[in-house]
Structure 1
Amino acid sequence: MAEHKHGDMDIDVQTKTFNGFVKATTWCVVAIAFFCLFLAVFAA
């Protein structure tokens, strides 16, 4: 079995994927907040 060296793996793809997920989640939360605010102001 090969020996594992901690911190030796290239994680650029995983880092970019995680950063994209965080950015998309942030934008979705902002969009939902504005939508709720819109409904509270104009649909009452």
Structure 2
Amino acid sequence: MADHKHGEMDIETQEKTFEGFIRFTAWACVLIVVALIFMALVNA
């Protein structure tokens, strides 16, 4: 079995995936807030 050496694995793909997930989540939150504000204004 190979010995584990901390910090040798290439994690570029994981970092890009995580960055994309965070960007998507941020945009989704913004759109949800805008939709809620719009619904509050239309219903008032």
TM-score, normalisation: structure 2: 0.94
Identity of aligned residues (%): 50
Runs of 4+ in 1 over 2 A off after TM superposition: none
2:5 aligned residue: 5
CA distance in 2: counterparts of 1:40 and 1:2, whole angstroms: 59
Matched, 1:17 2:21: no
Aligned residues: 44
CA distance in 2: counterparts of 1:19 and 1:32, whole angstroms: 20
2:38 aligned residue: 38
Q: Offset of 1:42 from its aligned partner?
A: 1.3
